[in-house]
């Protein structure tokens, strides 16, 4: 459980530092790059980082070993019992 918390903390720190560097140095040079980067940052922030909370759940980890990541995520988010 502690390693999941440390990994999540490191990923959030890396994402936030990347966002700060992007805003300070790169933002504004390309409209396409601005749109892509903010879509990427939003996707990571709201889709990838919350998966660390699920990895702390023993039921979800058991589902991952039996069904794989995508099906386990689908089952756990919709709270189906199998």
Residue 64: both structure tokens together: 């991952």
Are 58 and 76 within one domain?
Answer: yes
The answer to whether residues 43 and 70 belong to one domain is: no
> What's the confidence (pLDDT) of residue 12?
87
**Looking at the predicted structure, is the pLDDT value of residue 17 above 90?**
yes
| One domain for residues 11 and 43 | yes
Domain with 67 in it:
50-82
How many domains in the chain? 2
**Please, which pLDDT band fits residue 39 given cuts at 50, 70 and 90?**
very high
Helix (H, G, I), strand (E, B) or coil at 56: coil
Cα separation, 62 vs 21, whole angstroms: 38
Confidence (pTM): 0.59
């Amino acid at each position: 459980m502690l390693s999941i918390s440390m990994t999540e903390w490191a990923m959030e720190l890396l994402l936030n530092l990347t966002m700060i560097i992007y805003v300070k140095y790169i933002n504004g040079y390309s409209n396409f790059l601005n749109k892509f980067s903010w879509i990427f940052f939003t996707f990571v922030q709201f889709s990838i980082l919350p998966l660390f909370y699920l990895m702390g759940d023993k039921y979800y980890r058991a589902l991952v070993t039996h069904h794989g990541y995508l099906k386990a995520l689908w089952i756990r988010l919709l709270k189906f019992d199998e």
